[in-house]
Amino acid sequence: MLMALYKNLTAASAPLLEVYLNRREKRGKEDPARKNERRGNPSKPREAGPLVWLHAASVGEAQSLLALVKKLLEDYPRLRIMVTTGTVTSAKLMADRLPQGAFHQYIPADHPKWVAGFLDHWKPDLALWSESEFWPNMLAGIKKRGIPAVLLNARMSEKSFRRWSFLRGTIGELLSVFSLCLAQNDAEAARLKALGAQNVRISGNLKYAAAALPCDEGKRAELEAAFSGRPRVLWASTHPGEEELALQLHTTLRKINTELLTIIVPRHPARGTEIASLAENLGLGAVRRSQRRLPRPQDDIYVADTLGELGLFYKLCPLCIMGGSFVAVGGHNIIEPAQFGCRVFYGPHMFNFKTVCHDFESRNAALPCADADALGAALERALDDPAAFDAMGAAAQAWTAGQAHVVDETLGALAPYLKNFALALDLKNLSPTSGEKSA
């Protein structure tokens, strides 16, 4: 009943959706050159042959699929792969990092007519949906057309589980679209099964299998020279409220180490001017990377307000504070800095990465900090004795390196769906190599 109500309401909402998308476009959150894709009008022709469609909500989820896309194309070099996302940032990432044979499209807004236009144009042979973004009209369209669908890297947080528990019929109908659910861990699998998911297995977290973020060695050498050996602290993917904390801690820590450089990489680069102004209002010297400037010896704060350079700064900075964790955002992906051996610190709000944090904490591979005082004490120790957290960085890097098998396990679980492509294209038939287990 709720699904029917949702469909009717969204069918009547096209004018409101247009206003919403136009406002997002004015704020830089929609791509004006590809606006028709969000309205169910694809910008590319549908080529002949099998098409595998992978969907991810935004940057983090999309990045976790890259290793899987690469392996699929290695095993099926004539297969076509489409990756959809819903954000401009993720589209730019896909443009830079998708291999040949794969392409990106924006997911249409969840209007019945736009969804139908998208599905009827692309006619995917297999839909691989990532994590926990459930758009009712899109999923209903997939089911109506008989498109085989698998939920990859499936996640159901405790908070989401409690909410969906009041709508078990609705979530059960949505989950019924997927003939296979590959959960990240036992806890997620149990919650998915309790909500009605069928054929649930555990395959691990694909985020662990993602390749390390790219690092331009020329830029790294240039920055290393500009840093001149200064001790540095990186704040990665920060949100409003966290930059103030970073600046306050810098002021305190600078009294202990006068050469300290604090690097702030905001989650949204457009906030660079705002962050630099905050620093200057506190009497701190700040320069912005988007202005093609390098930090001088007298500068305190380097605002890296650019896209696609986190890998560069992870490689340059042994001490990393993960943004989104000192405000109630839910944190960001600590696997990425861990792949570079960073000593990773985070605050009390990592609720979107609870299982990952548990993995790291149980191996002494990251340090949770209850508040700003705890973080300040940890950073003071790290700056006073740079070797104090070496073991933590090494443990983080070793743990992430040991999880690359997740891609093979996922492909093994997908083998029954993919074997028909091997026959159709006369390609290598992928045999199950997974160690996945039934939940």
The per-residue pLDDT for range 25-37, each reduced to its tens digit, is 999 899 999 999 9
Residue 54 above 70 pLDDT?
A: yes
pLDDT at 433: 41
In a domain, 310, yes or no: yes
Do 411 and 269 belong to one domain? no
Mean residue pLDDT across the chain = 93
Do 258 and 390 belong to one domain? yes
Residue 432 above 80 pLDDT?
A: no
Per-residue pLDDT of 172-225, as tens digits, reads: 999 999 999 999 999 999 999 999 999 999 999 999 988 899 999 999 999 999
Do 134 and 268 belong to one domain? no
Per-residue pLDDT of 270-299, as tens digits, reads: 999 999 999 999 999 999 999 999 999 999
Do 301 and 418 belong to one domain? no
Do 344 and 372 belong to one domain? yes
Residue 58 confidence class, pLDDT cut points 50, 70, 90: confident
Per-residue pLDDT of 225-247, as tens digits, reads: 999 999 999 999 999 999 999 99
In a domain, 211, yes or no: no
In a domain, 325, yes or no: yes
Q: Tell me the CATH number at 118.
A: 3.40.50.11720
> In this predicted model, which residue has the larger pLDDT, 429 or 60?
60
pLDDT at 423: 63
pLDDT at 132: 86
SS (H, E, C) the chain: CHHHHHHHHHHCCHHHHHHHHHHHHHCCCCCHHHHHHHHCCCCCCCCCCCEEEEECCCHHHHHHHHHHHHHHHHHCCCCEEEEEECCHHHHHHHHHHCCCCEEEEECCCCCHHHHHHHHHHHCCCEEEEECCCCCHHHHHHHHHCCCCEEEEEECCCHHHHHHHHHHHHHHHHHHCCCCEEEECCHHHHHHHHHCCCCCEEECCCHHHHCCCCCCCHHHHHHHHHHHCCCCEEEEEEECCCHHHHHHHHHHHHHCCCCCCEEEEEECCHHHHHHHHHHHHHCCCCEEEHHHCCCCCCCCCEEECCCCCCHHHHHHHCCEEEECCCCCCCCCCCCHHHHCCCCEEEECCCCHHHHHHHHHHHCCCCCEECCCHHHHHHHHHHHHHCCCCCHHHHHHHHHHHHCCCCHHHHHHHHHHHHHHHHHHHHCCCCCCCCCCCEEC
Residue 60 confidence class, pLDDT cut points 50, 70, 90: confident
> In this predicted model, which residue has the larger pLDDT, 30 or 60?
30
In a domain, 105, yes or no: yes
In a domain, 212, yes or no: no
pLDDT at 428: 45
Q: Tell me the CATH number at 386.
A: 3.40.50.2000
Residue 269 above 60 pLDDT?
A: yes
In a domain, 103, yes or no: yes
Per-residue pLDDT of 352-407, as tens digits, reads: 898 899 999 999 999 999 999 999 999 999 999 989 999 999 999 999 999 888 99
Do 363 and 282 belong to one domain? yes
Q: Which domain holds residue 433?
A: 2-205+405-438
pLDDT at 1: 73
Candidate list 30, 61, 309, 436, residue with the active-site label: 61
Residue 429 above 50 pLDDT?
A: no
Do 75 and 13 belong to one domain? yes
pLDDT at 422: 66
Domain count, the chain: 2
Residue 63 above 70 pLDDT?
A: yes
In a domain, 289, yes or no: yes
Do 371 and 428 belong to one domain? no
Percent of the chain whose pLDDT exceeds 90: 85
pLDDT at 352: 87
Do 236 and 120 belong to one domain? no
pLDDT at 434: 40
pLDDT at 435: 43
In a domain, 181, yes or no: yes
Residue 439 above 60 pLDDT?
A: no
Q: Establish whether 61 is a catalytic residue.
A: yes
Do 322 and 282 belong to one domain? yes
Do 158 and 230 belong to one domain? no
pLDDT at 426: 59
Which of 68-72, 288-292, 367-371, 416-420 is least confident?
A: 416-420
Do 186 and 310 belong to one domain? no
pLDDT at 390: 96
